[in-house]
Structure 1
Amino acid sequence: MLLGIAAGLTTCALWGLTFIAPRAVAPFTTWDLTIARYGIFGLACLLLMVDRRFRPAGIAPSRLLIGMLLGGAGYVGYFISAAFAVQLAGAAVPPVIIGTMPVFLAIIANVRERTAPWIALALPLVLIAIGVAIVNAATISAAHVADTSSILLGVLASSAALAIWIAYGLVNAAVMRSANAPDGLQWTGLQGVGAAIGSLLLLPLASFDLARTASAPEALRFIAWALVMGLAGSWFATWCWVIASRRLPLALAAQLIVAETVFSLAYGFIFEGRFPSPAESIGATMQLAGVCFAIAVFSKSRESSGLSQNSAA
């Protein structure tokens, strides 16, 4: 259990970089970083497959396809949505919206497993909804009129990233908790190859002219971020999440992702060189409180279930 929690938190710290990386590599674009990041991810996976332990041998063709689709549609689609959300709406709004994912996944898990009473989930959901509303309302009201449409588009992009994340979490958890779950390293490799293939489809959108016009510091910064996001933020983070998905119940693993919100907000404010506004602080705090209440609800339900089973025995 502790290993799963540590792996999940490590993943959140690394995935939180997604919200500042596109802004840190300017003048290179989101498309450039997506292609480089997932190209490096896929290349690393292919090189590791020289070792037999990393080869996806013995995995059914249908599951091979699922793994590659998780990497291609899930990773590339999520990263593009989240990156555009940050560029359009700033550092605060996207992490807060995407940060609601733990509760949504917990609700889905509760629908399937009925591990917590629905009335107990009312307070967490209300806190999260109010927190998201406060941050979004404050950001939009503080923006210039010309920026309002950009922020609203950022909210839509954040919502798309949220939907992709939920689908990825459900499918990945289902595979890793199945009776014939694949090896974690092999499953990570499949997702890396799928992500690389997905990124290749974006090559026509790459800024090839920047290879000649960008300054040396700009090019080096881009390469450094691409390596960090490809190796640490993709390969290592995916492997850690595979471990967490295998060792933790879906409801618990999903709720750990609230840490991604904390990390991404912290990274964003550090990058912008500012403290959060009162509205951002209050909104984010309410959201985190809501998720913490949700964790308490599910933890209490699990403990009660365990006691009931022991009594019955």
Structure 2
Amino acid sequence: MWTGTLFALLAGLMWGLVFVGPLLLPEYPASLQSFGRYLAFGLISLPLAWLDRRQLAQLSRRDWATALELALVGNIVYYLFLASAIRHAGGPVPTMIIGTLPVVIALVSNWRDARRDGRLSWRQLLPSLLLIGLGILLVNQVELAHRAQQGDLDLSRHLLGALLAAGAVVCWTWYPLRNADWLRAHAGRSPWTWAIAQGVATLPLALLGYGGQWAWNVATHEAFPMPFGPRPLFFIGLMGAIGLLASWVGTLAWNEASQRLPTRVVGQLIVFETLAALSYALVLRGTWPEGGLLLGVALLVAGVLLALRQRGSGGSA
């Protein structure tokens, strides 16, 4: 349980970096950031795939189809929604909406995976979910108040950003559940190999997307300079760093956690991503956290710890 929790914490610390990219590259289209990040992820996976080629050769055609589905929905489409949401609404609103993932995934998995993981009664599950939800609400109220004080509120852009973030929630509710299904059904398989497989499956999708973006810019006479934009070295370096840390290390750590923990528990541990994203945003802003934000963080952590102590009835977990 605690080893899986530490892996989930590492994944959250790495995934929190994905909220930083759109804030550091506001002039870059969200689609280019999504394709650039996963192009880096795929390229990083190639030499690792060669080293692990014997294990990868044991994957079936159905396994590769699953890896392709996960790469498309959980990588490309998810980050396209998220980066677009951050461009339109800034950091706080998307962070708030993405922060509901622990609650959404816990509710869905408690209903969906009861036979495998055991079922928690809603009376057992409700306290931890309320703590997490209240913590997320409080943290983001503080963030939104700060944004209002800066005079940077555009309701129409925020509404669009909120809708895009909701699309990201749908993608990332499906991804961990589907990913956990495969890992739990293939307990003898290495999470390392499965992370490599997802990276390899992501590469052709990212190449097609990046090429399509370039062709679209040429066809529409877009002024944005391709292939790497107005800050090519910074863009390449940042995409490489996010591809390595968030996509590769984060995916590997999450696979390790998903193989060790019940789905309803590992789903709630996505809260670590929210905490990391808020911490990185404060570092970029150069401000100390306010009292309300610290209280919200305490509620989030308390909810996670309470969730880890729960045990369901029945199931094989």
TM-score interval, normalised by the smaller of the two chains: 0.7 to 0.9
Hey, what does 1:310 align to over in structure 2?
Answer: none
State the distance in 2 between where 1:223 and 1:145 align. Answer: 29
Hey, what does 1:242 align to over in structure 2?
Answer: 255
Hey, what does 1:118 align to over in structure 2?
Answer: 122
Task: Tell me, yes or no, if the aligned pair for 1:49 and 1:55 is still in contact at 8 Å.
Answer: no
Task: Tell me, yes or no, if the aligned pair for 1:91 and 1:269 is still in contact at 8 Å.
Answer: no
**1:158 alignment partner AA:** A
Structure 1 residue 173 corresponds to structure 2 residue 180: yes
Deviations 1:3-50 (Å, cap 9, x if unpaired)? 333222111111000111122134333222222211121122222222
Change (3 A) 1:2 1:54: farther
Deviations 1:133-180 (Å, cap 9, x if unpaired)? 556666667646960111122222222111211111001111001146
Q: TM-score, with normalisation over the residues of structure 2?
A: 0.81
Deviations 1:44-93 (Å, cap 9, x if unpaired)? 22222222446521222112101111012211111111222222222222
Hey, what does 2:96 align to over in structure 1?
Answer: 96
Change (3 A) 1:98 1:173: same
Q: TM-score, with normalisation over the residues of structure 1?
A: 0.82
Task: Tell me, yes or no, if the aligned pair for 1:269 and 1:276 is still in contact at 8 Å.
Answer: yes
Structure 1 residue 202 corresponds to structure 2 residue 206: no
Specify every segment of 5 or more residues in structure 1 that has no aligned partner in the other structure, as ranges. Answer: 307-313
Hey, what does 1:265 align to over in structure 2?
Answer: 278
Structure 1 residue 221 corresponds to structure 2 residue 234: yes
Hey, what does 2:6 align to over in structure 1?
Answer: 6
Structure 1 residue 148 corresponds to structure 2 residue 148: no
State the distance in 1 between where 2:232 and 2:243 align. Answer: 16
**2:124 alignment partner AA:** A
Give the secondary-structure state (helix, strand or coil) at the position aligned to 2:185: coil
Equivalent positions of 1:1-313 (< 5 A) are 1-53=1-53, 56-111=56-111, 112-113=113-114, 114-133=118-137, 143=148, 147-179=154-186, 182-203=189-210, 204-206=212-214, 209=225, 214=230, 218-276=231-289, 285-296=298-309, 298=310, 301=311
Specify every segment of 5 or more residues in structure 2 that has no aligned partner in the other structure, as ranges. Answer: 218-223
**2:197 alignment partner AA:** L
Greater shift in the superposed pair: 153-162 or 65-74: 153-162
State the distance in 2 between where 1:13 and 1:126 align. Answer: 23
* Residue identity (%): 31
Change (3 A) 1:213 1:292: closer
Task: Tell me, yes or no, if the aligned pair for 1:54 and 1:186 is still in contact at 8 Å.
Answer: no
Task: Tell me, yes or no, if the aligned pair for 1:132 and 1:287 is still in contact at 8 Å.
Answer: yes
Change (3 A) 1:268 1:138: closer
Using the TM superposition, give the Cα deviation of residue 228 of structure 1 relative to its aligned residue in structure 2, in angstroms: 0.7
State the distance in 2 between where 1:154 and 1:54 align. Answer: 44
State the distance in 2 between where 1:289 and 1:184 align. Answer: 29
Task: Tell me, yes or no, if the aligned pair for 2:101 and 2:267 is still in contact at 8 Å.
Answer: yes
State the distance in 2 between where 1:288 and 1:3 align. Answer: 17
Give the secondary-structure state (helix, strand or coil) at the position aligned to 1:49: helix
**1:12 alignment partner AA:** G
Change (3 A) 1:295 1:131: same
